[in-house]
Amino acid sequence: MKLEWSDGRYTLELDQGEFDFIKRCLLTALTHVSDAEYDIVIGRSKDAGDVIFHDLAFQEREAYAKRIYEELDREGAIAMMIEYMGDLTRLPDEEIFSRIKAEAVKWGQALDGGERRRSILTREALSALFAEVERRGADPGRALRSMLDGEDPGTRLAGAFFSLNRDPAAAVSVLESLSTDTRHPDISVEAVDILRNRQKGEGGAERVPGMGP
């Protein structure tokens, strides 16, 4: 553990064990201490502590996703996956949109299965497909709307993710709905993270590879 003061703020460096210990202590305080006791001991409300805990958990997932993305990039896995997709410029629009929907289902399945590496690769495949749609000037609006209205949670998640700049109101509505879907907790967490990264982006923060925009 290392605490430093720089530029008007403290920075605390922790190893994984120290981080896990602090997180467990915070969670125990939130779940086993009364609101009044928490306020007396911690000096702030439990609601404020809950926000801090969830922010800490978000930052942990963000750091983990960034590390996995960088590992995949170093291994050449992302480049190999893009190469395996073939020459997208030779595919008709219908095939591109069919592949988008298929990859969206795979993204949801990877998230549901806790397969972070696979989920990142699948979303990179989706990004490549949408980049090709944009390159050729095709209109993805109809495909995105059908994805937003779909029953499959991965399809809805992908539709919302790639609609954020095109139709933010509809995208945010779907993400908020997915964020409370207890049947698919990992997709729910991903939806929350995408929303939080979007809020950070609006404040000027850079998107983290492997996380939402």
Over residues 142-170, the pLDDT tens digits come to 899 999 999 999 999 999 999 999 999 99
* Residue 49 sits in the same domain as residue 107: no
The number of domains in the chain is 2
* Residue 50 sits in the same domain as residue 118: no
* Residue 107 sits in the same domain as residue 62: no
* Residue 66 sits in the same domain as residue 17: yes
Q: Can you give the pLDDT at residue 9?
A: 87
What value does the mean pLDDT of the chain take?
89
What range does the domain containing 54 cover?
A: 1-75
| 202 confidence band (pLDDT: 50, 70, 90) | low
Q: Can you give the pLDDT at residue 57?
A: 87
Q: Which residues, other chains included, contact 140 with Cβ-Cβ below 8 Å and sequence gap of 6+?
A: 97, 130, 133, 134, 162, 166
| 204 confidence band (pLDDT: 50, 70, 90) | very low
Q: Which residues, other chains included, contact 121 with Cβ-Cβ below 8 Å and sequence gap of 6+?
A: 72, 77, 78, 81
Q: Can you give the pLDDT at residue 11?
A: 87
Q: Can you give the pLDDT at residue 208?
A: 43
Region of 91 on the Ramachandran plot (φ > 0 left; ψ -120 to 50 alpha; else beta) = beta
Which of 21, 40, 75 delimits the end of a domain? 75
* Residue 85 sits in the same domain as residue 52: no
Q: Can you give the pLDDT at residue 97?
A: 94
* Residue 38 sits in the same domain as residue 102: no
Per-residue pLDDT for 21 more than 90? no
Q: Can you give the pLDDT at residue 209?
A: 52
* Residue 66 sits in the same domain as residue 81: no
Better-predicted residue by pLDDT, 184 or 51: 184
Average pLDDT over residues 185-197: 93
Beta bridge partners of 4: 11
Q: Can you give the pLDDT at residue 33?
A: 86
Average pLDDT over residues 69-73: 96
Better-predicted residue by pLDDT, 27 or 92: 92
Which of 22, 54, 75 delimits the end of a domain? 75
Average pLDDT over residues 184-203: 86
Q: Can you give the pLDDT at residue 206?
A: 39
* Residue 130 sits in the same domain as residue 183: yes
Q: Can you give the pLDDT at residue 26?
A: 83
* Residue 87 sits in the same domain as residue 30: no
* Residue 61 sits in the same domain as residue 81: no
* Residue 67 sits in the same domain as residue 86: no
Q: Would you list the DSSP string of 28-78?
A: HHHHHS-HHHHHHHHSS-HHHHHHHHHHHHHHHHHHHHHHHHHHHHHHTHH
pTM over 0.85: no
For tokens 């007396």, name the residue: 40
Which of 17, 52, 75 delimits the end of a domain? 75
* Residue 180 sits in the same domain as residue 196: yes
